[in-house]
Structure 1
């Protein structure tokens, strides 16, 4: 069975919204972590807001390795409205995103990534279908914004790895204990 891996950029106080406000540098350790995460993924599930923002940015971006990955991977967009077709390999998720994620996990392929999409990540975490949570935690307090873990039921996490990057970011990988 495939794994669902949530990868999020957070401030120290748990804010995931608008990471450009608190991710002020990117170093080689963070690049290696991102490369390891996306190197195993064959599909990505995104929310509509992330799709709308990313479909305007990533198709012409040269920021590697993520641009090549996100432009080429199969993207499943959780939305109630039709997509405009402007981004290659993007399809709308028809129906319940949790049921869709469960079906996708049963198929063949690499890991299934959830990137940036706070509400999708929360929904899948609350439903118990996420296998790993991989976080980049900035040494900054955002003070305000949507937090990734707000409103979730209690979850037990097992630490897989924790490293401090050269510029002070915490790279923490957790397995969700089911």
Structure 2
């Protein structure tokens, strides 16, 4: 069975919305961490807002290693309305998100990533569909914005790894304990 891995950029106070506001310094260790995460993935589940923003930016981007990955990966978009923009390898999630991801996990392939889509990550975490949580925690307090873990039930995690980068980011990797 494939793993579902949530990868999110968050502030120290847990805000995941608009990470560009608090991710001001990016170092090589954060890039290497991202490279390791996406090297194990061949599919991404996105929410509609993230898809719209990314479909406008990433097809023309040369920011590596993510541009090559996201432009080539299968992208599954949770939305109830038709997509306005076309982007290679994109599919609309037909029906219930949790059931779709449950079925996707049973198909052959590499890990399934959830990137940037807070509501998708929350729905899958609440449904017990996430296997790993990989966070990059910025050395900043955002103060306001949507928090990644708000409103979730109790979820037990087991620490896999945690490091601090030269720029002060915390790279944390948790396994969800069933």
Give 2:162's aligned residue.
162
- Residue segments in structure 1 that go unaligned for 5+ positions in a row: none
Does the 8 A contact of 1:23 with 1:138 survive in 2? yes
CA distance in 2, matches of 1:93, 1:119: 14
Is 1:113 equivalent to 2:113 in the alignment?
A: yes
Q: Residues 1-40 of structure 1: matches in 2 within 5 Å?
A: 1-40=1-40
**How far off its partner does 1:177 sit?**
0.2
Q: How many residues align?
A: 178
TM-score (norm 1): 0.99
Does the 8 A contact of 2:76 with 2:92 survive in 1? yes
Is 1:92 equivalent to 2:92 in the alignment?
A: yes
CA distance in 1, matches of 2:58, 2:85: 14
**How far off its partner does 1:167 sit?**
0.4
Does the 8 A contact of 2:44 with 2:114 survive in 1? yes
TM-score (norm 2): 0.99
Once the two structures are superposed, what CA deviation does each residue of 1:65-108 show, in whole Å capped at 9, x if it has no partner? 00000000000000000123521111100000000000000110
CA distance in 1, matches of 2:103, 2:90: 17
Aligned alpha-carbon RMSD (Å)? 0.6
Give 2:150's aligned residue.
150
Does the 8 A contact of 2:52 with 2:85 survive in 1? no
CA distance in 1, matches of 2:117, 2:46: 6
Q: SS at 2:75's partner residue?
A: strand
CA distance in 1, matches of 2:40, 2:140: 29
Give 2:42's aligned residue.
42
Give 1:139's aligned residue.
139
Q: SS at 1:77's partner residue?
A: strand
Q: SS at 1:159's partner residue?
A: strand
CA distance in 2, matches of 1:64, 1:85: 22
